């Protein structure tokens, strides 16, 4: 249970998020999303847009910061729409064609798409809007291969979740940590930052990516803690809290499948097992470890990036039940 201070803090975060004004380019895409899909409340887009400055690399040139923020917002919308296809609708056919936009756009077969033409047109528009927005990136060519690879890992994370949801008996915490965490898009976000970082030294790249592994896990834990109850009702069992409950025999795959209408008894059993505490402890452990780490990077402030992850976690906590 939250203390009064935490509750007040959460209210302040929520007010701050609700006051966020999205840029015109994003508003147009959100309006189109709401007319075609409408699954996610506008709060989600305001939430992530308000958070981007907290975990944007300090190396991003000041004149490009707002554009980078918008670019990452468009990428987030694309990833979210694909994620919902897989996790909410079990629409593997459309997902397989949509992922080709990233990997091999000439191979997209519209005849195999299960959604309406307008819906898939919107998915294409999101991806091409993002791609077009990278044309002015000063270091695009230098980082685009790594970005493409990292995007494929995000898509593989969605694919992994789909397999787990269809086969909950295979759920395991190792898989959730190694595969599902890529759904946080931390690596592609950083790649976009670096495309607009004129003073970034390539010698620092390995150190940045090493840190991102820890930060990505921390971001995923924050997401798991605040969305797992809703996801059970949607037939999504890939959240670490649920995976551990399966591994420990607290719930069975059959019980979860029957709980898609938000079975209160199953959810309460997981709550009573205090699994959330284990993940909060893990987040704290990772945070302390990265805070104590000494970084030798000269062209980017990684301590600042670590500080931003505390803000990310606070925003996750405040948004519970809202996204």
pLDDT tens digit string along 35-84? 998 788 899 999 999 999 999 999 999 999 999 999 999 999 999 999 99
Q: Which two tokens stand for residue 14?
A: 């929520």
The pLDDT value recorded for residue 10 is 83
What is the per-residue pLDDT across 180-209, written as a single tens digit (0 to 9) for each?
999 999 999 999 999 999 999 999 999 999
Q: What is the pLDDT of residue 37?
A: 87
pLDDT of residue 125: 98
Residue 8 clears pLDDT 80, i.e. is over it: no
Tell me the DSSP string of 169-201. GG--HHHHHHTGGGGG-HHHHHHHHHHT-TT--
Residue 322's pLDDT is what? Answer: 79
Average the pLDDT over 165-190 and give the result.
93
Q: Which residue has the tokens 């528009």?
A: 125
For residue 47, how far is the Cα from the chain centroid? Answer: 12
11-21 per-position pLDDT tens digit: 888 888 999 99
Number of H helices, E strands in the chain: 15, 0
Q: What is the pLDDT of residue 3?
A: 41
For residue 2, pLDDT over 80 is answered with no
For position 222, what pLDDT does the model report? 96
Which range, of 224-233, 237-246, 261-270, 288-297, averages the lowest pLDDT? 261-270
- Is 4-318 in CATH node 3.40.50.720? no
Q: Where are the alpha helices (DSSP H) in 167-301?
A: 173-178, 186-195, 205-233, 240-247, 253-258, 264-272, 275-292
pLDDT at 11: 84
Over residues 131-152, the mean pLDDT reads 97
Whole-number Å distance between alpha carbons of 255 and 100: 35
* The pLDDT value given to residue 260: 53
Per-residue pLDDT at 259? 55
**What pLDDT, on the 0 to 100 scale, is given for residue 261?**
44
Identify whether the C-beta of residue 156 lies closer than 8 Å to the C-beta of residue 182.
yes
**What integer pLDDT is reported at residue 94 of this predicted model?**
96
- 167 or 258, greater pLDDT: 167
pLDDT band at 123 (very low <50, low <70, confident <90, very high): very high
As a whole number, mean pLDDT of residues 139-157 equals 97
Give the position of tokens 């694309």. 78
Q: Is the pLDDT of residue 323 over 80?
A: no
> What mean pLDDT do residues 107-112 have?
96
Q: Is the pLDDT of residue 1 over 50?
A: no
pLDDT at 224 over 70: yes
> Of the ranges 83-92, 119-128, 149-158, which one carries the lowest mean pLDDT score?
83-92
CA–CA dist 200, 184 (Å, integer): 23
Note the pLDDT of residue 305. 97
pLDDT digits (tens, 9 = 90+) for 240-277: 999 999 999 999 988 887 755 456 788 999 999 999 99
**Contact 225/315 with Cβ under 8 angstroms?**
no
CA angle at 205 for the pair 202 and 211, rounded to the nearest 5°: 160
């Amino acid at each position: 249970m939250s203390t009064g201070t935490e509750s007040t803090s959460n209210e302040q975060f929520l007010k701050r998020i609700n006051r966020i004004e999205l840029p015109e380019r994003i508003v147009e895409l959100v309006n189109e999303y709401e007319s075609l899909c409408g699954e996610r409340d506008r709060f989600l887009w305001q939430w992530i847009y308000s958070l981007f400055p907290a975990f944007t690399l300090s190396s991003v040139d000041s004149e490009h910061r707002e554009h980078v923020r918008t670019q990452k917002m468009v990428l987030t919308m694309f990833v979210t729409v694909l994620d919902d296809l897989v996790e909410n609708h079990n629409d593997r056919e459309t997902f397989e064609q949509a992922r080709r936009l990233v990997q091999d756009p000439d191979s997209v077969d519209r005849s195999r798409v299960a959604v309406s033409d307008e819906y898939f047109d919107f998915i294409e528009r999101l991806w091409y809007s993002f791609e077009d927005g990278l044309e002015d990136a000063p270091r695009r060519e230098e980082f685009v291969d790594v970005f493409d690879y990292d995007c494929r890992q995000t898509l593989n994370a969605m694919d992994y979740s789909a397999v787990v949801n269809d086969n909950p008996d295979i759920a395991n915490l190792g898989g959730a940590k190694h595969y599902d965490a890529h759904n946080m898009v931390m690596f592609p976000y950083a790649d976009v930052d670096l495309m607009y970082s004129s003073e970034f030294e390539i010698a620092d790249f390995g150190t940045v990516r090493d840190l991102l592994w820890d930060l990505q896990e921390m971001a995923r834990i924050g997401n798991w803690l605040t969305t797992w109850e809703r996801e059970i009702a949607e037939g999504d069992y890939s959240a670490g809290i649920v995976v551990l409950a399966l591994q420990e025999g607290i719930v069975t795959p059959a019980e979860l499948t029957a709980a898609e209408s938000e079975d209160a008894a199953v959810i309460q059993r997981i709550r009573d097992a205090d699994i959330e505490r284990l993940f909060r402890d893990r987040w704290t452990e990772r945070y302390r470890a990265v805070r104590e780490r000494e970084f030798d990077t000269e062209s980017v402030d990684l301590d600042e990036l670590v500080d931003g992850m505390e803000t990310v976690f606070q925003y996750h906590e405040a948004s519970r039940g809202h996204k």
